[in-house]
Amino acid sequence: MAQITYREALNQALHEELERDERVFIMGEEVGYFGGAFKVTDGLLAIFGEKRVRDTPISELTIVGAGIGAAMGGLKPIVELMTINFGLLAMDQIVNHAAKIHYMFGGHAKVPIVIRAPQGGGHQLGAQHSQSLEAYFLHCPGLRVVIPATPADAKGLLKTAIREDDPVIFLEHESLYGMKGEVPEGEYMIPLGRANVMREGKDVTIVSYSKCVYDALRAAEALENEGVDAEVVDLRTLNPLDINTVVESVRKTGKAIVVYEGWRTGGAGAEIAAQIYEAAFDSLDAPVERVATLDTPMPYNKKLEHAALPSADQIVRAAERLA
């Protein structure tokens, strides 16, 4: 398998789906000539032209609204937002329209739209540009929420998302775009709602997604030196949520740590922890630990930003508390 970056894997998925289905098109701010804020759409304009790769005005509400209309009209729009922080300006379109139209039209209308956006902290972009907002979308019925960690998953899940009939929020951590990994050659897709056991273990289950998966893997390596065998589960999607794989792991290990970059209070990890309690309470030897971003606006100062974010060291300390 080829070693390519997360960014290149996404670009391949977009290229293949644009080529496969003439209904697919991309729209967003600077996705054409500039190639996207993080160069994910680089080179696609030259191949598919302005009709299929469309630069838009700077208005997220308008971009998402136009995408919803195109989806209802039979097209397959892929809307790129420069950052999920700007998605807050389009929340009415996302929550009140994209998520609800299929339900409110009695199933007679579909909204097969993919809304792609980078998110996450760690780059000194300040409080308004460093947020992880997956919990907002997880909280809204009608939206699929996809949040891959590896290049292979990024490609396979994006191809699946594009072919979905449901609206999909596809979240990419900014720190992962340059991350390299093995990606299968040829056509492949990854189903939504199927978690991946990245590392098997018997002493504690570490559940995570997106960039925090790598923190979990580093913590697992450190814990191995202490004689603790940690299992790492990458959820890959939050809606649908593969809680069965998580519960199976927790029943084996008896202990669970949920790691996520959203704020600790009301974050996606709180929902995951609640479902673990509901489904595997009798198997738990200790309370579920959560490692998350502190409940504070993201500091600009580099050291303070690092302190606010979850880390491998924090996961190790959580595992030691459980032990």
3-state secondary structure at position 285: coil
H-run or E-run covering 320 = helix 312-322
For 74-105, write each residue's pLDDT tens digit.
999 999 999 999 999 999 999 999 999 999 99
Q: Are 37 and 82 in contact, with CB atoms under 8 Å apart?
A: yes
> pLDDT at residue 139 above 90?
yes
Say how far apart CA 160 and CA 168 lie, in whole Å. Answer: 10
Of 263-267, 271-275, 319-323, which gets the smallest average pLDDT? Answer: 319-323
> pLDDT at residue 195 above 90?
yes
pLDDT at 186: 87
Q: pLDDT band for position 43 (50/70/90)?
A: very high
φ and ψ at residue 99, rounded to 5 degrees: -75, -20
For 211-267, write each residue's pLDDT tens digit.
999 999 999 999 999 999 999 999 999 999 999 999 999 999 999 999 999 999 999
Say how far apart CA 116 and CA 246 lie, in whole Å. Answer: 26
Average pLDDT, the chain: 97
H-run or E-run covering 170 = strand 168-173
Sorted by where each starts, the structural domains of the chain and their CATH numbers stand as: 2-183 (3.40.50.970), 196-322 (3.40.50.920)
Active site residues: 60, 129
Say how far apart CA 221 and CA 139 lie, in whole Å. Answer: 33
Q: How many CB atoms lie within 10 A of CB 302?
A: 11
> pLDDT at residue 206 above 90?
yes
> pLDDT at residue 1 above 90?
no
> pLDDT at residue 323 above 90?
no
Q: pLDDT band for position 196 (50/70/90)?
A: very high
- The alpha carbon of 68 is separated from its chain's Cα centroid by a whole number of angstroms, namely 21
Cα dihedral 149, 151, 157, 162, rounded to 10, equals 120
State both tokens at 313: 């060291």
